[in-house]
A = this chain, B = another copy of it.
Amino acid sequence: MDLTEWCHLKLGYQFKNLSLLETALTHKSISNQNNERLEFLGDSILGQIISLYLYNHLNDMDEGALTRMRSHLVNGHKLAEIGQKIHLSEFIVLGQGELRSGSYNRESVIANCLEAVFGAIYLDGGIEAIESVVHSLFFDEFQNLPDPNELKDAKTKLQELLQKNGNPLPSYEVIKESGRPHQKTFTIKCIDQTTNIYVTASSSSIKKAEQKAAEMLLKRLDGNGD
């Protein structure tokens, strides 16, 4: 399948100016004329199209739920999934080193490249063109939107559970910090102030460690944990 055929079949779009698409497919490892600026543009256009879709279709959802829903649809993992589905990685142009290390299959490379392709379509065909491409690529996602409550992060869920029962908020404390600068591991202790039940969890950032700890404490308090 050549590039034009791929555009037609997988994006449902024909470029007037193919060089825009070529730039969108060019990773920074191979040229200064790469896809990073288009990615900047595409990211914001994608955000706007998804926001408008959610605003128009989910009339009873408040801002918090809309924001969670947008993050669920527009994140590196989801974009990489959509990129894989349309075989985007076969067309990404990378430097030799990146090729050898298998970067064309890295989630972030695929996700960023997809955003750049969106930016290129916008510049080439305008807002209607990119809207129609995004709507068709996200069709399955739009048909299967999750319950926005399930998209809440563990810290929020834990807080809501405790507040519902009239209990005080949990406490989070950094109890250990190890490793060299920029490669640290943080250990967090999360305590339910009512029962004094606590858990500890470690991760590369305090935020991640807190989420892990909250997840564990939720399980303990729900009686599902170990």
Contact = CB atoms under 8 A, between A and B. Distances in A.
B174 A170 contact: no
Contact of A63 (B37, B127, B181): B37
The size bracket of the interface on A is 35 or more
Interface in A49-76: 50-52, 55, 61-63, 66-67, 70
Given A37-B66, A41-B51, A206-B206, 20 more contacts: A36-B62, A37-B55, A37-B63, A39-B63, A40-B51, A40-B55, A40-B63, A40-B67, A41-B52, A44-B50, A44-B70, A47-B47, A47-B48, A169-B181, A169-B182, A170-B181, A171-B180, A172-B181, A173-B177, A181-B193
18 contacts: A36-B63, A40-B51, A40-B63, A41-B55, A43-B51, A44-B50, A44-B51, A44-B52, A45-B48, A47-B47, A48-B48, A55-B119, A168-B181, A169-B181, A169-B182, A173-B177, A181-B193, A206-B206
